[in-house]
């Protein structure tokens, strides 16, 4: 191999960038703590305050708050008046960190970092020995999913992508939510369209039980949740099938797509949300979340599928592979749409 000159400036720039990545990952853990304890929400409502005042307001331990604030200052998140000993969260920063920010609250994403980190040993083992991380081991990520899902999936906006669909739901149709998780989409639809009948299916017993309990708590009528494999659906049972952030996770994605096609009655509609990435890695360079999403795939989607000796297609299978898969499953017509304010997903509408 020819000896190549080292470009020193490039090496230094890369080292600095990587250091920033590691520092950012550690800071994300502290951001998660701020999100989970409600510290950002409290700071957003307070005038500049001392750590004692913040402790009084939140009921949290002052010593922990003070250490946390110092790190937040170093990380450029909060500001500090050293003379007065007061701290505050600039309004602009609150727009990315408080519950009031809704889908823009990046504290939700930060709170995933430690949950993914919990299975790192299992992922390293799978690199060496093959196999994957089971859905049971991924429970803490599953518990976090609804917080993300309710921020990311605006069910009304997704349904609005298909002209006439809302009217059909109002009149009353059969809706099947495949891989429903904790039932976010099912519950929203059951609540908004009481004339429609909703069935959510998922293989995770805990999620099904939690979704059912939530339906009961909300007093919703025509919504049921069943523990069932996504590839085993009742033929001709649905007018609308949803699969939000599910198909790439499955051990048997292609069989499931065929089962969904068969579950649809004539004229029925399939709405599938998948990540707005390409199956070609070079096309994802520059996407602000691609590196994070590939980690999600390694630590969750791909490995969960491989743990069941599945396809392990990974979350970035992209339109290039999804369109042929839908055609193969029998969808003659497929439209791909995006939603403003939702850079994460593409919506595939299959008929
Ligand atoms: C990323 S979560 C998405 C959940 C939900 N659709 C949402 O948007 O919140 C993927 C879901 O697929 C479910 N799942 C995985 N394999 C499955 C299978 N073979 N049959 C049914 N559900 C499955 C998981 O239990 C999990 O709830």
What tens digit of pLDDT does each residue of 277-297 get? Answer: 999 999 999 998 999 999 999
Pocket test for ligand 1, best of 136, 185, 203 (most atoms within 8 A of CB): 203
Pocket test for ligand 1, best of 181, 183, 306 (most atoms within 8 A of CB): 181
ipTM exceeding 0.90, yes/no: yes
Ligand 1 center from residue 103 Cα (angstroms): 21
Q: Where are the domains of the chain?
A: 8-110, 118-350
Structure tokens at 221: 């009528």
Ligand 1, atom 27, residue with closest C-alpha: 181
Same fold, 8-110 and 118-350: no
Pocket test for ligand 1, best of 115, 232, 249, 258 (most atoms within 8 A of CB): 249
Ligand 1, atom 16, residue with closest C-alpha: 250
* Residue 146, pLDDT score: 78
* Residue 259, pLDDT score: 98
Ligand 1 center from residue 31 Cα (angstroms): 27
- Residues with a CB atom less than 6 Å from ligand 1: 135, 145-146, 149, 153, 179-181, 184, 202-204, 207, 229-230, 244-246, 249-251
SS3 labels along the chain = CCCCCCCHHHHHHHHHHHHHHHHHHHHHHHHHHHHHHCHHHHHHHCCCECHHHHHHHHCCCHHHHHHHHHHHHHCCCCEEECCCCEEECCHHHHCCCCHHHHHHCCHHHHHHHHHHHCCHHHHHHHHHHCCCCCCCCCHHHHHHHHHHHHHHCCHHHHHCCCCCHHHHHHHCCEEEEECCCCCHHHHHHHHHCCCCEEEEEECCHHHHHHHHHHHHHHCCCCEEEEECCCCCCCCCCEEEEEEECCHHHCCCHHHHHHHHHHHEEEEEEEEEEEECCCCCHHHHCCCCCHHHHHHHHHHHHHHHHHHCCCCCCCCCCHHHHHHHHHHHHCCCCEEEEEECCEEEEEEEEEC
Q: Which CATH class is domain 118-350?
A: alpha beta
What tens digit of pLDDT does each residue of 301-329 get? Answer: 999 999 999 999 999 999 999 999 999 99
Ligand 1 center from residue 247 Cα (angstroms): 8
The C-alpha atoms of residue 232 and residue 249 are separated, in whole angstroms, by 16
Q: What is the pLDDT along the chain (351 residues), one digit of tens a residue?
A: 667 899 999 999 999 999 999 999 999 999 999 999 999 999 999 999 999 999 999 999 999 999 999 999 999 999 999 999 999 999 999 999 999 988 789 999 999 999 999 999 999 999 999 999 999 999 889 888 878 877 777 899 999 999 999 999 999 999 999 999 999 999 999 999 999 999 999 999 999 999 999 999 999 989 999 999 999 999 999 999 999 999 999 999 999 999 999 999 999 999 999 999 999 999 999 998 999 999 999 999 999 999 999 999 999 999 999 999 999 999 999 999 999 888 889 999 999
If one counts every other C-beta atom within 10 angstroms of the C-beta of residue 221, the result is 12
- Ligand 1: atom nearest CA of 149 is 9
* Residue 1, pLDDT score: 63
* Residue 291, pLDDT score: 95
Q: Given 1.10.10.10, 3.40.50.2300, 3.30.750.24, 2.60.120.10, which CATH number is that of 8-110? A: 1.10.10.10
Ligand 1, atom 8, residue with closest C-alpha: 244
Ligand 1 center from residue 218 Cα (angstroms): 22
């Amino acid at each position: 191999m020819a000896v190549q000159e080292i470009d020193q400036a490039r090496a230094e720039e890369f080292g600095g960038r990587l250091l920033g990545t590691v520092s950012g990952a550690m800071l994300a853990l502290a951001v998660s703590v701020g999100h989970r304890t409600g510290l950002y929400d409290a700071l957003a409502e307070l005038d500049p305050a001392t750590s004692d005042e913040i402790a009084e307001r939140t009921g949290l331990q002052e010593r922990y708050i003070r250490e946390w604030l110092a790190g937040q200052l170093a990380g450029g998140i909060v500001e500090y008046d050293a003379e007065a000993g007061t701290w505050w969260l600039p309004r602009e920063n609150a727009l990315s960190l408080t519950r009031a920010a809704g889908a823009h609250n990046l504290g939700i994403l930060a709170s995933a970092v430690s949950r993914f980190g919990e299975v790192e040993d299992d992922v390293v083992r799978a690199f060496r020995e093959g196999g994957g991380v089971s859905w049971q081991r991924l429970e803490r990520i599953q518990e976090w999913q609804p917080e993300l899902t309710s921020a990311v999936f605006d069910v009304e906006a997704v349904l609005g992508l298909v002209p006439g669909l809302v009217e059909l739901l109002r009149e009353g149709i059969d809706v099947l939510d495949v891989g429903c998780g904790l039932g976010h989409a099912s519950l929203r639809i059951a609540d908004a369209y009481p004339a429609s009948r909703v069935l959510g299916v998922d293989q995770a017993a805990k999620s099904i039980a939690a979704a059912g309990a939530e339906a009961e708590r909300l007093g919703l009528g025509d919504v049921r949740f069943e523990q069932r494999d996504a590839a085993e659906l009742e033929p001709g049972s649905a007018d609308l099938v949803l699969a939000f952030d599910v198909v790439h996770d499955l051990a048997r994605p292609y069989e499931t797509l065929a089962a969904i096609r068969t579950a649809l009655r004539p004229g029925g509609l399939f709405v599938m949300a998948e990540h707005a990435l390409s199956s070609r890695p070079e096309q994802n360079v520059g996407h602000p979340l691609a590196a994070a999403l590939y980690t999600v795939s390694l630590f969750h989607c791909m490995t969960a599928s491989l743990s069941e000796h599945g396809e392990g297609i990974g979350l970035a299978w992209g339109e290039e592979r999804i369109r042929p898969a839908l055609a193969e499953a029998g969808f003659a017509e497929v439209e791909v749409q995006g939603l403003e304010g939702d850079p994460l997903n593409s919506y595939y509408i299959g008929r």
